[in-house]
Amino acid sequence: MTAERGAERPGGFAAATGDGPPSPAAPEVRAAEVRVAFGGLLQIRRLTNTTAPDPAAVPAAWELNQPVRAVALALEAAGQAPSAVDGEGRRTATGFRVAAGTRPGTVRVDWLGPPGGGAAQDEEHQLTACAAALTPLGWEALLYRGPRRRRFLEVEPAL
């Protein structure tokens, strides 16, 4: 079971982590769902971060408890496309993939796509754009180079 499938409920919204199938909804429907979910997240921040100078710029407790879902929602709301896989786990779309990081409370963001699709050539540019989308929302995103010289972001709350 993927994180996306485990988060789904009938009629509920699930953040696209890049490890599930493409959204069955039409692009404009999915965009509307993401806008509503992200708007709700910002409202939670405003209501719970009352001591912060800018409540919308500080992750809420919900996000700290579920950073993969929170970061995935923030990236999709910023217009970044999630990657996707088919039923056999093969990449079918190029985009971000969000997964739990190696340390508790951290998240790893990769830029992945189908073999031969050019994701490796675009990853630095795309991951830099992902980091730029996360920073004003209170996430610290550092770009690293991992095995096989592939880049990734390590994301944690900028507390």
Residue-wise pLDDT tens digits, 141-158: 999 998 889 999 999 999
Q: Can you point out the beta strands (E) in the chain?
A: 84-85, 91-93, 95-100, 107-112, 139-145, 151-157
What residues form DSSP beta bridges with 151? 145
Residue-wise pLDDT tens digits, 44-86: 999 999 999 999 999 999 999 999 999 999 999 999 999 999 9
Q: Burial code of 40-51, b = ≥16 C-beta within 10 A, e = fewer? A: ebeebbeeebee
For residue 113, the model assigns a pLDDT of 97
For residue 46, the model assigns a pLDDT of 97
Token representation of residue 158? 């900028």
Pairing of strands 95-100, 91-93: unpaired
Phi-psi region of 149 (alpha: psi -120 to 50; beta: other; left: phi over 0): left
Residue 57 is classified by DSSP as G
